[in-house]
Amino acid sequence: MNKRPLYIVQKGFTLVELLIVAIILAILAAIIVPQFASTTTDAQESALRSDLAAMRAAIDLYRQQHGANPGVNASDGATCIGGTKGTGTAGTALAFRDQLVRYTNANGDSCSLQTAGAETFPFGPYLKEDQIPANPITNSAVIEIVTAGDLEMVGTGAALGWKYDSTNGKFIANDTNTDSVNVAYDTY
């Protein structure tokens, strides 16, 4: 007699097994996803601190070489043959930008070339980008220029770009919101 072994053939997972796997995946997702969200916030806050340090260093070096803070004087007074001349009038964000991202002379006039015709622009550039970086928290590059001279200057409101006091050279994030440990961004 030919005996055949009895086999129980299972062709899939039971509903209970599928539910258990789904519950385990949901628990893991609930634990892991918030970790990624805080990593993004930490990276933005670190980028903000880094951008503030770079901008403050550029402002300090400009002041040391020119005897005035960037943006105080116009950036459009010199002849710039063959290059791009600055167009910022005194006290404006455009003069501030021109004087940090282009070559400058002792008066703060700016040009994209270090030597442009008879004019020379021996200083700068102080930033290697063509623009002032955007605030990494708010994604705004708008700069509010003030002349109060207040060393305890605070932001104007929530989620703005930057704030700069051309009298004392103070440069802050123009954002009164708080970071992940409840510190206001404008106090960084």
pLDDT, tens digit, for every residue of 95-144? 999 999 999 999 999 999 999 888 999 999 999 999 999 999 999 999 99
pLDDT of residue 91: 95
CA 32 to chain centre: 27
**Measuring CA to CA, which residue among 132, 152, 136 is closest to residue 144?**
132
Q: Which residue has the tokens 């605030």?
A: 135
Residue 39 has pLDDT above 90, yes or no: no
Q: Can you tell me the mean pLDDT for 49-71?
A: 97
- Annotated domain spans of the chain: 50-130, 134-188
Helices 93-101 and 15-66, axial angle in degrees (round to 10): 90
Give the alpha-carbon dihedral of 97, 100, 102, 106, to 10 degrees.
110
Q: Give this prediction's pTM.
A: 0.79
pLDDT confidence bin for 27, thresholds 50/70/90:
confident
Of the two residues 8 and 105, the one the predictor is more confident about is 105
pLDDT confidence bin for 5, thresholds 50/70/90:
low
Of the two residues 112 and 34, the one the predictor is more confident about is 112
